[in-house]
Amino acid sequence: MLLGVGMSIIIGLTGENCAGKGTVADYLVKKGFYYYSLSDVIREELASEGREITREALIAKGNSLRKNFGADVLAKRIVERLRPDRNYVIDSIRNPAEARAILATGKATLVYITAPQETRFERMKARRREGDPRSFEAFKVIDQLEISSKDEFGQQLAEVFALATKKIVNDAGFRELYDAIDSMLSEISSEFKKDRPNWDEYFMSIAQVVASRSNCIKRHVAAVIVKDKRIISTGYNGTPRGIRNCSEGGCPRCNSFAETGTKLDECICSHGEENAIVQASYHGISIKGATIYTTFSPCLICTKMIINSGIKEVVYNSDYPLGEASLKLLKEAGITVRQVKLEK
């Protein structure tokens, strides 16, 4: 069919094995998108030949179709089925010619879905599909073959990824993934413009408001601890309870305008993360398994408190000047760390 002016949105999906393309497609379907996979064309061919549909058979047949009818044959056959009054999500784009054929409609956005290799292998093990590699080493070998194949009619994922204009890193939970999809859609079309903030934006914006209560004269920082989408504690930086406020001369280090990273042993201000954790303890509230939203990435002292408190996730807005070691320590402790930049 000819794609006319009325054609709506086409989202093309590409990514490594077990990166979460299927989950993204399912979410888009719930939002009214019609689903196609380039693999559908291959499955139809195998079914017509009476052959068993396995991963190996799909790859071999796909390569054969591309060699005999052109590297873009799968995409062209799917494009012929599209109607101008619907939104579509098209999965399993694995060859650059396929990507170009879909992008040539002038209505498509190619989205690269990815996740760390270790994460993807754990997802593969969890699905327990027959024929999947059993060891991480075998998984890495297959991964590399699919990503960097030299066969122009085969799977050349690296070249496809390079054509993508949007990228979603699926390394956290469903909530974070869905928020990322919503943000991506709002960037593509005003039809999906967000009319309210997602959860990350919501809690981070609250943390920024909490920071306005800070009495520190050097930097206003705050943290909000959240569990089950409910705020259970907040904290902002400043002098301890009963001590003269920093803005009133209470902290000698801040009031001497010491350079960043110097005279830290003289600072009597408590940090926002520290106060949020201590306030929860003061009121007898467990923060085990919670998420902490903080306007700056935590310092090393706050990092140790976060780890020992049982907090499972740290979401920060801006980078703390001396925060590199802290972020490394959090990740080593198995705590999810994400940056969500939110303009004030």
Catalytic status, residue 324: no
Please list, in sequence order, all residues whose beta carbon lies within 8 angstroms of the beta carbon of residue 299, skipping any fewer than 6 positions away. Answer: 271, 320, 322, 323, 326
| CA distance from start to end of the chain | 47
Residue corresponding to tokens 């093309």? 12
Rounded to whole angstroms, the Cα distance separating 251 from 267 reads 6
Which of 16, 176, 273, 313 is catalytic? The answer is 273
Q: Is 213 exposed, middle or buried (0-12, 13-18, 19+ CB in 10 A)?
A: middle
Neighbours of 60 (CB within 10 A): 15
Q: Which residues pair with 10 in a beta bridge?
A: 88, 108
Rounded to whole angstroms, the Cα distance separating 183 from 110 reads 15
**Do 188 and 132 meet the contact criterion of CB atoms below 8 Å apart?**
no
CB environment 128-161: b (16+ within 10 A), e (fewer): eeeebbeeeeebeeebeebbebeeebbbbbebbb
Assign 3-state DSSP to the chain and report helix, strand, coil percentages, each to 5.
45, 15, 40
Q: Is 95 exposed, middle or buried (0-12, 13-18, 19+ CB in 10 A)?
A: buried
**Residue 278, CA atoms < 13 Å, CB-side half-sphere:** 12
**Do 290 and 223 meet the contact criterion of CB atoms below 8 Å apart?**
no
Residues carrying an active site annotation: 273
